[in-house]
Structure 1
Amino acid sequence: MTVLKGVLVERGYIGVFEIEYTLENLQELVEGYIEYVHNKDYVVICNDEGLTKGLPLNRLGLWGKAFILKLNYDTGDFISLTDDELKTVQEEIKRNSFMNA
């Protein structure tokens, strides 16, 4: 069992979150089909239909929950953030500079 550790962002909440790495668990977390967007060194997993489902806007300007991880480009697998990356990402979000980088 692989556990992913990343930053969860939703309306009114930013924090460290751990989840067992399965497609079903990621879909359950974002409440639907997933899509991911790249942001510098990170990947943001979010709901592919968040706007049409009427999910609330989060601090990143995305609809619904967002989960921030990294991507192993050799294998295509999502990977956990290090403790330093968890701290950096949370600080950038609070400064509203994460999606601008």
Structure 2
Amino acid sequence: MNHEKEDKLNIKNFLEEEKVSDIRAYNNGEWINIVVGTVRSQRHISGILKKIKVLKIIKKEDVFGIPENEWVICSVEGIDIHLFTKEKRDYYGIDNLWEQWQYEQ
């Protein structure tokens, strides 16, 4: 297994442990790697970010957005993780945006 695929698998496992649902990983075949997941609430986003920071997986400057907006992006090992509430994920149709990219199970 290559390093990039292993990183995505580790991220997916971490998110599953944190009860993130509907996790999808996308790759455009070149340089963009994205993992998208649905969280239950703003508090859920905050808790996940806190745990990630405690584990020193990301730095503060690698987080974009605020939990109150119900969508944050954090960058881990070159992979952008998008965490949304279901309402925001549906509203922005983020999966439709990347549907032409390879979806990795």
Q: What TM-score results when the alignment is normalised by the length of structure 2?
A: 0.35
Q: Which has the higher helix share?
A: 2
Q: Which has the higher strand share?
A: 1
